[in-house]
Every structure is written in structure tokens, then in C-alpha cells.
Amino acid sequence: MAGTPKEADVTKAEIDHIETEKTDLKNGDEALDFLDGHAEDIGEEEAAAVLKKIDWYLMPVLIIVNCIQLVDKNTLGAAATYGLIDQAKLKGSQYSLLVTLFYIGYMVAEYPANYLMQKLPTGKFLTINFILWGVVLACTGAATSFPGLAAGRFLLGVFEAPINPGLVVITSSWWKTSEQARRVGIWYSATGGLTVAITMAFYGIAHIENTNMFPYQWVFIIFGLLTAVIGISLCWVLPDSPTTCRFLNERERIVAIQRVKDNNTGIKNKEHKRYQIWEALKDVKVWLLTAGVFFQNMTNTLQNSFNGLIIKGLGFNTHQAVLLTLPVGIVFLVSCLGVTWILGTRWGQGKRCFAAMLMYVPGVISTVILYAVPVQKSTIGVLLFALYFLNVISTCPSIMYSLLASNIAGYTKKSVVNSMFFVSYSLGNIISPQAFLQRESPRYTTGVAVTLASFCTNILVFGALYINYAMANRTRDKEAVDQPEMTEDEKLRQAFSDMTDKENRNMRYAT
């Protein structure tokens, strides 16, 4: 028997609703498919228990990955302190070029790496690259001349290219926006504490005697093998996604996904969408954040690759210079952990850009001292203070990473912005070493001046970034006044629909 017109209308509406849900599930995030498009109620205690489990399992993994990455990246600076330049017979600007080649490899591989990370399981892809960079670092220990060292540095950059973007993606997938600054601060600042231990390890390696190899070769071999072994262990412990992780049961995975629903940034979508590429390239906020990371990394050479050489140039021998770099890690650890911990409190919400601007002030003061104060016996204490105080600004990258994790939605857009961000990171590190001229040793006044200018520029950049984020949030708040209340299922589908941050008007930017 045929239904009445009213019944027919209802049936048609139900069919349309079902078709819309199917379309959302097909085009949306893998989390939407996992939840079958429906929200579930979770209690505060249940959510807190899952958060605690995520923290205790994932944070140590992220800390280890980031620490090993930073240590491996900085082995060149340690090798230089232990005679790399003389023992490998490097001439002219070849040492600076070795610093640069890492970032050329990093830059070349960045977009392909992010594209592959979108298509492949995140944890497995990162693990493979982790193992390969350990193998490359160990093999670099066999190099005793510029060509071999250059090849090793380039390949090291290629295999490290997906690691930082991967850490950002993992952070945005597992923690709420309000939790991300503190978590990034923890896994990023841990490198400061490790720096102290690693410096002592470098010191011990320097005393290896009665071998046919130079100390710098042992630095590469030991840390390369350590990296490869840790990489193999990641095969079992680094999850691909909250939807497939083994350390949570089925119910806990549902809770983990529901927790991050209000981020509106999604978890994973394997479809590479062209319109999101163009949106990323036209977004002023993206370009400001990209400019910020460029100028931040214009300062990296002074902090990472040349600080040991500067200390050595103040009249200290090799072993003294290594020990005198110990406070660098302590300053970094205390400042980064302290600032990002405050940003994770209720009072600290909405103050990330302001915190970054404030952290550049010690950088300005330190570089002015390094530029203006002459090198003589009576000023060594002041110059060492400047080199240590300078490292307060190492907090800023963790703030940038947290903004990157919190404020970009749409997985293709996220992939493109990650690529832009870390290509800019590479460009800063490629250009910066060229300002450190060997003839200006030990003060490197041109490099110090470039570093000072970069600090000042970034204060302006983060001021502009805050204004853009705040204006966008204010506009969306006004729009929301006239909008009807959404159901929990509607919020869930919108949160995991793979919409970009521009499309999803319910999203608010972390400032």
C-alpha cells in the first residue's frame, strides 16, 4: 500500500539524512568512521583516566624521539669541538657548509615526507625514518674528509624531515588544544635535561684513546648505533592513531577520540585535497607563523653550532669548553618547562603569542652584549652569561609547535602547512651559518648582528599573528550568536569532517 504524501516526505528526509551521513563518513576523518558518526557520553573521571594513560604511555616516547633527534643533529657541533675541522682537514667555509647541507636535505624531503605521512600509517612511517637516520649517522663516522661528511649530513636531513611534523601531528591527535602547549613543552624541553647528560657523554668519548679513529668519529658511530637500536624498539611502541593503538582498549579509544572532538582539527584523512593546498598558500596566518619559524631559526646557529666554538675562542681548551656548555641545557630546560607549564594553566590560556614575544627579550639583551663587549680576561664572565641567558629563547619553538598543532585543520592543509613550516625552518638554518665568518672568530660579529635582528623581527611577527588570530575568533563569536545549537552528533561530524580551520566556523584559534 502506498504511503501518504506526509509519510513519503518523512521517508525521503530520512533517506537524505542517511545519504548525508554516508558521504560524511566517506570524506571525513578516520575517527568519524571509527565512531560510526555518533557521539557517545563520557564522564569526566573516565576522560581523566584515559588522559593519564595517554600521558604515561606517549609522553616518554615523544621525549625520547625528540631528544635523540636533537642530539643527533648537534653531534656536528660536538665533533667540531673535538677537532673535526683539523682532523678531517676542512678548509674555509666547509664546516659551515656541513651545517647547511643537513637543512638542504631536510628541505628537499619535507613535502614528500608529509605527503607520505598522510598516505601511510604515521607511527610506522616515523619509525622507518628514525632507523634510517641512525644508520646514516653511524656510517658518517667512517668519513674522514669533506665529501663523505657532506653526503652523510645531507642524508641525515632527508631522513629527519618527517620527525618534527610527525610529533606535531601526534600532539594534535591525542591532546586537547588547552593541553597541547604543556605537552609540547614537556617533550621539547626534555632535550635541555638530556643535553647535560649528553655533554658528559661527549666529554667521555673525547677521552677514548689508543684507537685508529678520531674522537669525532666515535661521536657519530656511538650515537648513530644508539639511534638505530631505539628506532627498532619504536616498531612496537609508537602508535599510528588513537583509532588503532594497542595500549588502549576499545572503550578507551572511543574516549580518546571524543576528548579531542572540540579541537576541530581532526586526526587523519588519507585523501589529498587540492583546494586545501590553495587555502594553505593563501592564508595570512600561515605565512606569519612560517615567517616566525624562519626568523627563529636564523638564530639557531649561534645557539647550537657555534656556541662551543665561541667558548673555546674565549681561551678555554676543548674539555673546558665542553663542560662550560652544560648550563645551556639547564637554562633551556627551566625556561621552556616553566613557561609552557604556565601556558597550560587557566591563566595562561590565550597567551602563547605574548609568551613568545616576552621570551625574545633575553635574546635581544644577550646578543647586544655579545656584539658590544670586547673579548678580554675581565669580560669572560659577562660573555658566558650572555651565551647562557640567550638560551631562554629556546622556549619559542615549543610555542610555535603548539600553535601549529592547535590552529591548522583539514589534514591536507595540515600536511602542506607542516611542509611550509619546516621548509622555512630549514631555510633559516641554511642562511644563518653563512653569516658566521671564520675571519671574525671568536666573536662572529656579523652572525651575532643577524641573530639580534631576527629576535627583534619576531617580536613584531608574533604581535601581528596574535592580532590575526584574535580578530578571527572575535568574528566567529559574533556569527555564533545567531546560530542554532548543534546536537552532539552534529558537532562530532563537523569536528571530524576534514574541514579546514577556515571552513569550520566552530573552531577557535589558540592565541
Say what the alpha-carbon torsion angle 138, 144, 150, 151 is, to the nearest 10 degrees: -50
Q: What's the pLDDT at 384?
A: 85
Higher pLDDT, 398 or 95: 398
Percent of the chain past pLDDT 90, that is, above it, reads: 55
Q: What's the pLDDT at 99?
A: 81
Q: What's the pLDDT at 183?
A: 95
> Which range has the worst mean pLDDT, 140-144, 272-276, 297-301, 440-444?
440-444
Percent of the chain past pLDDT 70, that is, above it, reads: 90
Q: Mean of the pLDDT values across residues 15-29? A: 49
Q: What's the pLDDT at 307?
A: 64
List the grid coordinates of 290.
612560517
Higher pLDDT, 303 or 69: 69
Looking up cell 668519513 gives 143
Q: What's the pLDDT at 37?
A: 58
> Which range has the worst mean pLDDT, 195-204, 282-291, 394-403?
195-204
Q: Mean of the pLDDT values across residues 443-465? A: 94
Q: What's the pLDDT at 16?
A: 42
Q: Mean of the pLDDT values across residues 147-160? A: 94
Whether residue 381 has pLDDT greater than 50: yes
CA dist list (Å): 390 to 77, 135, 332, 393, 394: 17, 33, 9, 6, 8
CA dist., res. 300 & res. 307, Å (int): 10
Whether residue 232 has pLDDT greater than 90: yes
Which residues fall within 8 angstroms of residue 421, CB to CB, at 6 or more apart? 165, 289, 290, 293, 400, 404
Tens of pLDDT, residues 238-295: 999 999 999 999 999 999 999 999 899 989 899 999 999 999 999 999 999 999 999 9
Looking up cell 572511543 gives 254
Q: What is the mean pLDDT of the chain?
A: 86
List the grid coordinates of 349.
590560556
Residues in the chain: 511
Q: Domains of the chain (ranges plus CATH)?
A: 28-495 (1.20.1250.20)
Tens of pLDDT, residues 493-510: 888 889 999 999 999 999
Whether residue 6 has pLDDT greater than 50: no
Q: What's the pLDDT at 210?
A: 63
Tens of pLDDT, residues 357-371: 999 999 999 999 989
Handedness of CA 339, 341, 343, 346 (dihedral sign): negative
**CA 247 remoteness from chain centre:** 24
Q: What's the pLDDT at 201?
A: 77
Whether residue 9 has pLDDT greater than 70: no
Q: Mean of the pLDDT values across residues 43-64? A: 95
Whether residue 168 has pLDDT greater than 70: yes
Whether residue 463 has pLDDT greater than 60: yes
Whether residue 148 has pLDDT greater than 70: yes
Q: Mean of the pLDDT values across residues 17-41? A: 63
Handedness of CA 286, 281, 426, 132 (dihedral sign): positive
Q: How confident is the model at residue 14 (pLDDT cuts 50, 70, 90)?
A: very low
Q: What's the pLDDT at 305?
A: 59
List the grid coordinates of 237.
611502541
Q: What's the pLDDT at 84?
A: 83
Q: What's the pLDDT at 4?
A: 46
How many other CB atoms are there within 10 angstroms of residue 6's CB atom?
8
List the grid coordinates of 358.
616576552
Q: What's the pLDDT at 1?
A: 42
Higher pLDDT, 82 or 482: 482
Whether residue 424 has pLDDT greater than 70: yes
Q: What's the pLDDT at 179?
A: 95
> Which range has the worst mean pLDDT, 23-27, 160-164, 442-446?
23-27
Q: What's the pLDDT at 241?
A: 93
> Based on C-alpha coordinates, what's the Rg of the chain?
25
DSSP state of 391: G
**CA 130 remoteness from chain centre:** 15
Whether residue 20 has pLDDT greater than 50: no
Whether residue 319 has pLDDT greater than 80: no
Nearest to 163 by CA among 502, 425, 377: 425
Q: What's the pLDDT at 378?
A: 78
Q: Mean of the pLDDT values across residues 181-195? A: 85
Cβ proximity of 442 and 375 under 8 Å: yes
What distance, in Å, lies between the first and last C-alpha atoms of the chain? 60
Higher pLDDT, 184 or 78: 184
Q: Three-state DSSP class for 22?
A: helix
Whether residue 331 has pLDDT greater than 80: yes
**CA 353 remoteness from chain centre:** 16
Q: Mean of the pLDDT values across residues 310-319? A: 70
CA dist., res. 221 & res. 322, Å (int): 19
Say what the alpha-carbon torsion angle 423, 413, 469, 459 is, to the nearest 10 degrees: 0
∠ at Cα 366 (360, 372), nearest 5°?
135
Q: What's the pLDDT at 318?
A: 67
